[in-house]
Amino acid sequence: MAIQSEFSTPQSMKRRWRNFKESFIHLLLLVCAGSSVLVTFGVIYTLVSEAMPFFLEVPIKNFLFDTEWTPLFENPQYGIMNLISGTLLTTVIALIIAIPLGTVAAVFLSEYCSNQVREFFKPLLELLAAVPTVVYGYFALLFVTPILQKIIPSLESFNALSAGIVMGIMIIPYVSSLSEDSMRAVPLYLREGSLAMGASKLQTSFKVIVPAAFSGIASAYVLGISRALGETMVVAIAAGLQARLSLNPLQSTQTLTAYIVQVSMGDLPQGSIGYRTIYVSGLVLLLFTLSFNLIGQSIRARMEKKYK
């Protein structure tokens, strides 16, 4: 009898309580994990619902084809292309810096250097992504622009070029670390086979390893692109506030994100047309980045299937 009371039987209160506790915890954790879906839903719902009234007031034709973006002026114009061109301009400049440098860094870290050298460089490189973006903005405006102005005298003091360059340096680690991971995941026998055929390290890296790791590298690029599209503080500080339909990197320009910052700095009553426009730019931005993310994920998924 004493033994029986010490070991609980399935019917005992203690076990029932334990089972209840287990399933309660299970449910609690499920709710927490599911809450992240609510966040996405909340972001999309808020952006769409706050932006929609804008399209009731402004015809789509004006939105797409107006030549200026001046929603807060006397005779407002709503040509979103002005902001999109600024966003694309700074993004392209950033990618011209980040993609070559990030790829070379990844190949070097994965294929060329010893373990010790990698252990030294990798955390340092990742610090580049840890620096707050407002600090990069300061750097672009007050360090990079004056230097560039000595080389290109016609450079305006707010310009797309230095904002883009600094943004590019900032996203090097995003490009390099994901690329490096996928290059290191390429099986050793591919390297050995290539080297045994007499190929050099350089040939092996770019003709065997990079193609084999292409899915990871491509998704690293896509991540870099969506970072650059959504980057806010660097462009808000260093690229200026002048929305214009131009791809001249020497002039000031305004991106979708910088416009949101500019308008949010002032006082905006809820429901006013100015308030709507920041949601419209946010929605355009979200569409851009979400589609890039989905492209990146599908590239990765397709390649993973292929290389299994």
Q: Which span sits near another protein by CB under 8 A: 59-67, 69-77, 97-105, 189-197?
A: 97-105
**Measured from the CB of residue 136, what is the shortest distance to another protein in angstroms?**
8
> Closest CB to another protein among 48 and 65?
48
Binding-site member from 16, 17, 20, 29 for another protein (CB under 8 A): 29
**3-state SS string over 128-197?**
HHHCCHHHHHHHHHHHHHHHHHHHCCCCCCCCHHHHHHHHHHHHHHHHHHHHHHHHHCCCHHHHHHHHHC
Q: Least Å distance between CB 40 and another protein?
A: 5
Q: Which stretch binds another protein (CB under 8 A): 38-46, 70-78, 178-186, 246-254?
A: 38-46
- Report helix, strand or coil for 224: helix
The nearer residue to another protein, 78 or 279, going by C-beta atoms, is 279
261 binds another protein per the rule CB under 8 A: yes
Q: State the Cα–Cα distance between residues 162 and 146, nearest whole angstrom.
A: 10
What phi, psi does 69 have (nearest 5°)? -120, 95
Span of 30-38, 58-66, 78-86, 187-195 interacting with another protein by CB under 8 A = 30-38
Of 186-194, 209-217, 232-240, 243-251, the window that binds another protein (rule: CB under 8 A) is 232-240
Nearer to another protein, 56 or 265 (CB): 265
Binders of another protein among residues 286 to 305 (CB under 8 A) are 286, 289-290, 292-294, 297
How many other C-beta atoms are found inside a 10 Å radius of the C-beta of residue 156? 17
CB atoms near residue 306 (< 10 Å):
9
Question: How far apart are CB 49 and another protein at their closest, in Å?
Answer: 8
Whole-angstrom CA distances from 151 to 136, 148, 168, 241, 276 are 21, 5, 19, 24, 41
For residues 25 and 130, what is the distance between their CA atoms, to the nearest angstrom? 35
Minimum CB separation from another protein for residue 75, in Å?
A: 26
**Which of the residues 154 through 193 are near another protein (CB under 8 A)?**
169, 172
Question: Contacts with another protein in 269-288 (CB under 8 A)?
Answer: 270, 278-279, 282, 285-286
Tokens 């033994």 sit at which residue?
A: 3
Dig out the tokens for 189 from the structure: 């026998």
Kindly tell me which residue out of 54, 63, 136, 221 binds another protein, with binding defined by CB under 8 A. 136
